[in-house]
Structure 1
Amino acid sequence: MTDADRFIYDVPVRWSDMDAYGHVNNARFLTLYEEARVAMFFVGAKAHGLGSFEEGIVIARHEIDYLRPVDFGDPVRIEMWISELRAAAFTVSYELFDDGVLASRAKSVCVPYNLVKGHPRRLSDAERDFLRPYTEVS
């Protein structure tokens, strides 16, 4: 397997992300991952002249491994890549680093979606071109 380019995004940890034990709540990890994913598909894609992801992506599945607690403080760094690319779905893989130490791994299965018509759709050639540099090759 060859390494893909990674989209890297720093996400601030907010006081509201904390649980009663003083760590980021397990459910809030999804919010941190979502912020990075939105940056990739809305801001990053738009910078490449691609706005179609803004028209709709739904999440079909999330999977998270918690490796260590994350405390309130500096932003966490999230590195993302595409671990599977199919005709009508793709999987985003993530690694979350807290102060340079790997704290969590996750995956999200994303499905391009036509919000107006209310159904999934296939990836366009332009979307595949945007995702290709971030895609793992086996």
Structure 2
Amino acid sequence: MEQFLSQYPVHTRINVAWGEMDALQHVNNAVYFRYFETARIDFFGQLGLLEQGQKMQIGPIISENQARYRRPVTFPDSLLVGVNISDIGQDRFLMNYAVFSQAQKVITTTGSSLVVMYDFKTGQKMDLPPELVDVLKAQEAAKA
């Protein structure tokens, strides 16, 4: 777990709900995208990025998502969903996720989201604000 925490210094705890399991008695594959979403919003909240973007009517939108399922997760379990940043570009960056099962003591699922900065006033993508680039680069450097 120490290695997980050093690679993913920003993480969110999520308890698996009984209703998230499917007929095959493990967490349904689609649920992981909700876990990623929860961790993504928590990440932005922990860094104070949501309020600033709302004031300026700009924000991140998802261009694409992907997940790789390594091991099934079942109820009951408590997960840590870690987030780190890579591939920072002019108008986009990659958010990488890892789901650590506390019951299994292992990463069960990995994934990523390609995030594009969007101007809600103009309805167009935009360059990442310099302040955001600084925060993202600091997060990118923080992973071991």
If the TM-score is normalised by the length of the shorter chain, which range does it land in? 0.7 to 0.9
CA contact (8 A) 1:50 1:126 kept: no
Deviations 1:73-113 (A, max 9, x none): 23210111112100100000111111131101101100011
CA contact (8 A) 1:97 1:104 kept: yes
SS in structure 2 of the partner of residue 60 of structure 1: strand
What is the aligned partner in structure 1 of residue 3 from structure 2?
A: none
Unaligned runs of 5+ in 2: 1-5
TM-score by length of 2: 0.82
Rounded to whole Å, the distance in 2 between the matches of 1:55 and 1:18 is 35
Q: From 32, 46, 49, give the equivalent of 1:44.
A: 46
What is the aligned partner in structure 1 of residue 132 from structure 2?
A: 127
Unaligned runs of 5+ in 1: none
Aligned pairs for 1:79-94 within 5 A: 79-94=82-97
* Larger relative helix fraction: 2
SS in structure 1 of the partner of residue 16 of structure 2: coil
* Overall identity of the aligned pairs, in %: 26
Rounded to whole Å, the distance in 1 between the matches of 2:50 and 2:118 is 19
Cα offset, 1:34, TM superposition: 0.6
Cα offset, 1:4, TM superposition: 6.4
What is the aligned partner in structure 2 of residue 103 from structure 1?
A: 108
Aligned pairs for 1:13-24 within 5 A: 13-24=16-27
User: Aligned Cα RMSD in Å?
Assistant: 2.3
